Amino acid sequence: MHIIHQINDFLFELFPKARETGNRIDVLKQEIEKFYTIGPFKPMITIVHGIIDITIEGELIEKHNNRYRTVLDLCDARRFTEAKKHITQLIKEAPHISEYHRVLGQILSEEGNQDEAINSLIDALRWDPKNEWALIMTGNILARYQHDIDAAMKYYERALQHKPDDYASLTFIAINLIKFGKNETARQYLDKAFEINPAYPNMYFAFALLAEAEHNFKEAFEIAVVALFKNPRKDLLYQQSLQTAAKAAHEIIDAEVGGDMVNAFAARLEDVCGKKIVIEQDATLETATKIEFAENHDRAYHLVKYNPEYPVVHHLIMHELTHLLLATQARQEGKNKLFVRYDLNKKHLPFSLEKEDYTALVDRLNEQIYNTPIDLFIEDYLFQNYPDLMPYQFLSLLDLIQERIHATTDEKILTIAPPAILSKSKTFNLVNAFHFLKRYGVNLIEEHNPTKTEREQAEKFYREYEECRTRHTPGDEYELLQSWAKQLNVQNYFSLVEEYDFQENNDFLDHLCAETKVNLPGIDANHPADKKMQVFTEAHQGKDINMAVTRFMVEALQYFKNLSDPEINKIALQTGLIWGDGINLNGEGYSVPLIAGKTFTGYQVLAYYYVSWAQAFPEYLEQLQLPFEKEFEFAQEMVRM
């Protein structure tokens, strides 16, 4: 095919870049060649007596183009053996196509045959000395594999002569210069690339490498994170940027610096919460950190324990302190709540799943129900207010998310864990992964192997969090917690207790203990009061007499018949604390320390609880909110018979 243009003002109108440079013929020729190039097929251009003759190999293009695209697809899939077979045949049929030789050179280099790769690239340059990618690749092989940066620079410079505004080539050259310690020269190339295209992701990775080479690890970390955001595709560049960010972060973290951040935050927080904060090491701690609020442990101070074996433990201490900050802010508004787990039944489980394993799974899910929405606010607070903590946070969250991925994708776990629990757990994990992606550009979503439903649910949760964050007031995180639990149908796994009610209940029990001069043995009284009884009450309201409860009440009445009033008082208070700590009514194996040598079912504890209070503190019986007046009356009648 021949296309003929007369060189005149109209032609420069068609190719305005040539007109902008002063009607330069060489620029016009470049623009025409670029326009009429189809894949690897460049047009042949001749200029004679003011006429441009453009020859396009239409028949060859039609015959080869699809086969050439197949080769590229095979290379992308790293199926180099098949690709080499196809490209070799194309070279036999059309040896004058420079790009065919260039692609073969790339395949040979990927296979590790660098000498033959250079031979093919030289063939590409013989057919087209301006083939920029052949020039760059030859330079890369000379630099990376033959360690001859001077020879490599000849090819790099030739590529830039033909295309001085090629920011990709400038970046590749800079990366190789960095590896040879030529940092200043590399910076010149990168600065020029930045001027041409500041959005090019490879360039940010190169800047990160340069900062790392100059031991400026803070800058290396920050720029590597930018490179992650600039390159959402999880390709080699993404992996290299992630490795660079992690490596730089490890170089930054320092025990003394981390300790200073923790101490400064704790000192400020003491003024906010009005209590001293004690931070102490505990090498026996199974988790990295743990916080014990003063209000829940009858102390005058808050206690944070940490295991010093964890390398980024300072972030986790800061996390616990921020948890205290949010709780304090909610408390000041009268909105703080306590999370109480329920003892769930083991139902519909695989035979192979042991009770201990199931309990661990449920406990883990309860931790996620409670922590996921709150942790988002915590991590965002730290991200926004403590920029020096970012490397610590980055490594810590990366490690945590990878642990969570293992917990829901490991084959051993998948064979024994109930799918329903595992799916809900994965959804919560995905919410955290979305947050990490939004803050640091690290995409670990697909590593969770999520179903479409799990992913969509997690995305919905995260959108709800972002909406809540923009208008957040103290205590809003608890509303988010309850909303998510309801959407996943796990609202019955726990109860959120108003802290005021908890304190009131504790004060009430303390008052009765003091009034009756009772010192209860074997019970930790510092447990949140459980509003499970309210749920239980609603479930039993209006039903007929519960004969199981009645039968156990008869048993309790007969037992208490032989005890003194002070002894019944103590048992009443003790069963009250046990009930408040959470009882599975269908469970068994419970004990009341003051009733030695006997184990109880959940309903037995309920019966002894009700009867003991009816006898010891009848004036407070209504406060139990248990709808068993009929059962108690019937039990009394049966005992009198």
- 482-516 b/e with 16+ CB inside 10 Å = b? eebbeebebbebbbbbbbeebeebbeebeebbeee
Report the C-alpha gap between 18 and 11 in whole angstroms: 9
**Which residues fall within 8 angstroms of residue 18, CB to CB, at 6 or more apart?**
12, 24, 25, 27, 28, 31
HEC letters along 9-36: HHHHHHCHHHHHCCCCHHHHHHHHHHHH
Q: Are the C-beta atoms of 249 and 219 separated by less than 8 Å?
A: no
Under DSSP, is residue 435 helix (H, G, I), strand (E, B) or coil? helix
pLDDT for 96: 83
Q: Using CB atoms within 10 Å of the CB of residue 564, give its burial: 0 to 12 exposed, 13 to 18 middle, 19+ buried.
A: exposed
Q: Using CB atoms within 10 Å of the CB of residue 307, give its burial: 0 to 12 exposed, 13 to 18 middle, 19+ buried.
A: middle
pLDDT for 602: 85
Q: Are strands 337-341 and 494-498 parallel, antiparallel or unpaired?
A: antiparallel
pLDDT along the chain (641 residues), means of 10: 72 76 77 74 78 71 80 90 92 85 93 93 86 91 90 89 88 91 94 94 96 97 96 87 97 94 96 94 91 84 93 94 95 84 47 56 85 96 96 97 92 82 94 97 96 97 96 93 93 74 54 49 38 43 68 90 87 79 76 86 89 87 81 84 64
Output the CA–CA distances (angstroms, integers) from residue 612 to 49, 299, 528, 560, 638, in the order listed. 115, 31, 21, 8, 17
Q: Are the C-beta atoms of 165 and 146 separated by less than 8 Å?
A: no
The span from the first CA to the last CA of the chain, in angstroms, equals 114
pTM over 0.85: no
Q: Are strands 51-55 and 301-306 parallel, antiparallel or unpaired?
A: unpaired
Q: Which of 438, 481, 485, 474 is nearest to 459 (CA)?
A: 438
Torsion angle (degrees, nearest 10) of CA 421, 425, 427, 432: 170
pLDDT for 58: 58
Continuous segment of H or E residues that includes residue 202: helix 201-213
Partnered with residue 51 across adjacent β-strands are: 6, 48
Q: Are the C-beta atoms of 170 and 160 separated by less than 8 Å?
A: yes
Q: Are the C-beta atoms of 183 and 210 separated by less than 8 Å?
A: yes
Residue type, 562: N
pLDDT for 518: 46
Report the C-alpha gap between 92 and 89 in whole angstroms: 5
Under DSSP, is residue 306 helix (H, G, I), strand (E, B) or coil? strand
Under DSSP, is residue 505 helix (H, G, I), strand (E, B) or coil? helix
Report the C-alpha gap between 491 and 481 in whole angstroms: 9
